[in-house]
Amino acid sequence: MATISTRLVNSSIRKLRLVVCGVAKRRLYQTVSAARHISGIGGENKQKFIPTALQPRYFQTSSALQEVVQFKLSDIGEGIREVIIKEWYVSEGDKVSQFDSICEVQSDKASVTITSRYDGIIKKLHYDVDGTALVGEPLVDIETEGAISHKQEEDVEVDISSKEQRLEDHAMQMTTSGRKVLATPAVRRLAMENKIHLKDVEGTGKDGRILKEDITRHIESLDHGVSAFTGKQVAPQAPISPPKADRAPAPTPIPILRAPAPVGKDYTQPIKGMQKAMVKTMSMALKIPHFGYYDEIDVTTLVNLRKDLKKVTEKRGIKFSYMPVFIKAASLALNQFPVLNSSIDDKVENVIVKASHNIGVAMDTADGLTVPNIKNVQSQSIFELAAELNRLQQLGSAGKLGTAELTGGTFTLSNIGSIGGTYARPVILPPEVAIGAIGRIQAVPRFDRDGNVRKAHIMQVSWSADHRIIDGATMARFSNLWKMYLENPTTMILDLK
> Quick check: 361 binds ligand CAO (CB under 6 A)?
yes
Residues 413-432 that bind ligand CAO (CB under 6 A): 414-419
86, 111 Cβ separation under 8 angstroms: yes
Q: Which is nearer to ligand CAO, 56 or 372 (CB)?
A: 372
Q: Which is nearer to ligand CAO, 85 or 427 (CB)?
A: 427
Q: Which is nearer to ligand CAO, 221 or 414 (CB)?
A: 414
> What is the SS3 assignment for the chain?
CCEECCCCHHHHHHHHHHHHCHHHHHHHHHHHHHHHCCCCCCCHHHHHHCCHHHCCCEEECCCCCEEEEEEECCCCCCCCCEEEEEEECCCCCCEECCCCEEEEEECCCCEEEEECCCCEEEEEECCCCCCEEECCCEEEEEEEEHHHHHHHHHHHHHHHHHHHHHHHHHCCEEEECCEEEEECHHHHHHHHHCCCCHHHCCCCCHHHCECHHHHHHHHHHHHCCECCCCCCECCCCCCCCCCHHHHCCCCCCCCCCCCCCCCCCCCCCCCCHHHHHHHHHHHHHCCCCEEEEEEEEECHHHHHHHHHHHHHHHHCCCCCCCHHHHHHHHHHHHHHCHHHCEEECCCCCCEEECCCCCEEECEEECCEEECCEECCHHHCCHHHHHHHHHHHHHHHHCCCCCHHHHCCCCEEEECHHHCCCCCCCCCCCCCCCEEEEECCCEEEEEECCCCCEEEEEEEEEEEEEECCCCCHHHHHHHHHHHHHHHHCHHHHHHHCC
> Quick check: 327 binds ligand CAO (CB under 6 A)?
no
Rounded to an integer, what distance in angstroms lies between the CA atom of residue 210 and that of residue 192?
13
CB of 417 to ligand CAO, least distance (A): 2
Rounded to an integer, what distance in angstroms lies between the CA atom of residue 327 and that of residue 358?
10
Q: Which is nearer to ligand CAO, 2 or 323 (CB)?
A: 323
Part of the chain binding ligand CAO (CB under 6 A), chosen from 101-109, 216-224, 231-239, 356-364: 356-364
CB of 441 to ligand CAO, least distance (A): 4
Residue from 193, 295, 298, 364 binding ligand CAO (CB under 6 A)? 364
Q: Which is nearer to ligand CAO, 149 or 393 (CB)?
A: 393
Q: Pattern 373-392, binding to ligand CAO, x per CB under 6 A?
A: ----------------x---
258, 444 Cβ separation under 8 angstroms: no
> Quick check: 325 binds ligand CAO (CB under 6 A)?
no
Residue from 69, 85, 112, 323 binding ligand CAO (CB under 6 A)? 323
Q: Which is nearer to ligand CAO, 26 or 280 (CB)?
A: 280
Rounded to an integer, what distance in angstroms lies between the CA atom of residue 490 and that of residue 308?
13
CB of 433 to ligand CAO, least distance (A): 17
CB of 394 to ligand CAO, least distance (A): 11
CB of 419 to ligand CAO, least distance (A): 5
CB of 155 to ligand CAO, least distance (A): 42
Residue from 369, 456, 469, 484 binding ligand CAO (CB under 6 A)? 369
Residue from 110, 362, 385, 387 binding ligand CAO (CB under 6 A)? 362
The vertex-463 CA angle with 459 and 465, nearest 5°, equals: 170
Part of the chain binding ligand CAO (CB under 6 A), chosen from 64-72, 170-178, 179-187, 355-363: 355-363
> Quick check: 440 binds ligand CAO (CB under 6 A)?
yes
Q: Which is nearer to ligand CAO, 322 or 463 (CB)?
A: 322
Rounded to an integer, what distance in angstroms lies between the CA atom of residue 205 and that of residue 150?
33
> Quick check: 88 binds ligand CAO (CB under 6 A)?
no
CB of 380 to ligand CAO, least distance (A): 15
State which residue has the least CB distance to ligand CAO: 417
Residue from 215, 441, 458, 481 binding ligand CAO (CB under 6 A)? 441
Question: Which residues neighbour 107 within 8 Å (Cβ) at sequence distance 6 or greater?
Answer: 76, 78, 80, 82, 83, 84
Q: Which is nearer to ligand CAO, 305 or 369 (CB)?
A: 369
Among candidate residues 126, 200, 467, 495, the one labeled active-site is: 467
Q: Pattern 280-319, binding to ligand CAO, x per CB under 6 A?
A: ----------------------------------------
CB of 318 to ligand CAO, least distance (A): 11
Residue from 363, 387, 401, 435 binding ligand CAO (CB under 6 A)? 363
Annotated active-site residue 467? The verdict is yes
Q: Which is nearer to ligand CAO, 199 or 290 (CB)?
A: 290
Q: How many residues bind to ligand CAO according to rule CB under 6 A?
A: 19
CB of 53 to ligand CAO, least distance (A): 35
Phi-psi region of 316 (alpha: psi -120 to 50; beta: other; left: phi over 0): alpha
CB of 323 to ligand CAO, least distance (A): 3
Rounded to an integer, what distance in angstroms lies between the CA atom of residue 94 and that of residue 142?
10
Residue positions annotated with a catalytic role: 467, 471
The site for ligand CAO (CB under 6 A) is made up of: 321-323, 361-364, 369, 389, 393, 414-419, 438, 440-441
